[in-house]
Amino acid sequence: MYNIDEEGFLINPADWDTTFARETASSEGIDLTAERWQLVEQTRAFYNDYGFSPSMRPLVKYIGMNLGADKGKSIYLMKLFPPSPAKILSKLAGLHKPKNCL
C-alpha cells in the first residue's frame, strides 16, 4: 500500500516503484505504452536532476533535450497525457503535484 494524498500523488517520492506507476495508470485509464513509459522515466529523471516536479514548460524543454525535438513539444505530450501532461506525468512518476498545476 502506498501513502498518497487526496489527489493520488505519492507523499514520499522515494517510495515510488514501477508497480505504483502501473497501478496509478490503470486507475486513471491510461495504457502505459512504451512511448508513455519513456515520458514517465524522463519525468523521474527531471526530478532526480532538479529536485522538484516539473511544470509543463521545463518538462517539454527537458524532454526535447533528452529525446529529441520531435518529442519535446507540448502537443506531443498533450496527445499522450491530456488534459494536463505535467500533472499526470508527475503523478505516475510518484512526484508531488507541480506547483502551478490546478
Please, are residues 72 and 61 in contact by the beta-carbon 8 Å criterion?
Answer: yes
SS (HEC) of 16-33 = CCHHHHHHHHHHCCCCCC
SS3 label, residue 4:
strand
- The three-state secondary structure class of 10 is strand
Backbone φ and ψ for 10, nearest 5 degrees, come out as -65, 130
Active site residue 94: no
Catalytic position from the list 45, 67, 80, 101: 101
Query: For residues 24 and 6, what is the distance between their CA atoms, to the nearest angstrom?
Result: 13
**Catalytic annotation, residues:** 101
